[in-house]
């Protein structure tokens, strides 16, 4: 970890300046953008969800001392569009507001019928949040797939009906067995990156003939 000195930014129109209390790290996105992409993002661009206390505000009705969730990099002071933090929510939980909102939006745009088997490939932050949110659609079974045991265990704790660890089991065979050879009604791809290429191929193999494939994560060829 390298700490760099920087000027405190100034909020623009409809922005707030917050003193950051917690900043969300996305292992997949940040490792990929910093160490895998041909041109690494500079350190000051890393991070995208902060929670903290308003120091200065250009937003009507928001003032110093208010709590705010802002999309911004890992830094002590960050400017951005104000997002309210519900009463009683701690700063660490508040860093998930942005991604939780996105996961809910993605879930609501997926064509799902009540009772459908929904397969979610990848149990990083996005995949896990999607898995929790999709209960709103009243699916049949929610089946998650990942290659890391820690993520698989967290997925179980967060309510997945079935968890497939691809480090131990072929995911396509497992899904076909679970669906009695029919294939999944809905497959949601949340792996992304280089591994997402193979995951995308497997997604197509585990779908039923008229199934739905929803790509959320970006993958690199």
Unique residue bearing structure tokens 């208010």: 66
Cα torsion 115, 117, 123, 124: sign: negative
pLDDT at 197: 76
pLDDT at 198: 83
Whether 45 contacts 10, CB under 8 Å: no
pLDDT at 149: 96
Comparing C-alpha atoms, which of 99, 137, 103 is closest to residue 118? Answer: 137
pLDDT at 35: 67
Question: How far is it, in rounded angstroms, from Cα 183 to Cα 17?
Answer: 50
Its pTM stands at 0.84
What is the CB-side half-sphere exposure of residue 45 using CA atoms within 13 A?
9
Regions of the chain short of the pLDDT cut 70: 28-29, 32-36, 44, 193, 218-221
Question: How far is it, in rounded angstroms, from Cα 143 to Cα 160?
Answer: 6
**Which DSSP string corresponds to 153-170?**
HHHHHTT-SEEEETTTS-
Cα torsion 183, 188, 194, 197: sign: positive
Question: How far is it, in rounded angstroms, from Cα 61 to Cα 80?
Answer: 16
Collapsing DSSP states into helix, strand and coil, what is residue 102? helix
Structure confidence by residue, pLDDT tens digits, 78-121:
999 999 999 999 999 999 999 999 999 999 999 999 999 999 99
pLDDT at 6: 86
- Separation of CA 15 from chain center: 24
pLDDT at 200: 85
pLDDT at 46: 80
pLDDT at 3: 81
Whether 185 contacts 118, CB under 8 Å: yes
pLDDT at 219: 63
Structure confidence by residue, pLDDT tens digits, 31-41:
766 666 777 77
């Amino acid at each position: 970890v390298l700490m760099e000195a920087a000027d405190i930014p100034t909020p623009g129109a409809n922005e707030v300046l917050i003193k950051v209390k917690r900043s969300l790290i996305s292992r997949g996105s940040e490792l990929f953008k910093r160490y895998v992409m041909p041109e690494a993002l500079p350190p000051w661009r890393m991070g995208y969800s902060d929670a903290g206390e308003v120091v200065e505000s250009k937003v009507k009705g928001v003032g110093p001392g208010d709590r705010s969730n802002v999309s911004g990099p890992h830094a002590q002071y960050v400017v951005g569009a104000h997002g309210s933090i519900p009463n009683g929510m701690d700063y660490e939980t508040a860093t998930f507001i942005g991604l939780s909102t996105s996961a809910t939006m993605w879930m609501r745009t997926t064509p799902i019928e009540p009772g459908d088997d929904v397969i979610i490939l990848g149990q990083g932050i996005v995949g896990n949040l999607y898995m929790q949110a999709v209960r709103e659609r009243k699916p049949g079974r929610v089946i998650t797939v990942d290659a890391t045991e820690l993520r698989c265990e967290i997925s179980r704790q967060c309510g997945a009906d079935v968890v497939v660890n691809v480090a131990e089991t072929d995911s396509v065979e497992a899904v076909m067995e679970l669906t009695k050879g029919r294939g999944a009604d809905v497959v949601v791809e949340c792996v992304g990156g280089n591994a997402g290429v193979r995951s995308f191929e497997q997604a197509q193999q585990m779908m039923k003939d008229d199934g739905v494939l929803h790509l959320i994560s970006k993958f690199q060829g």
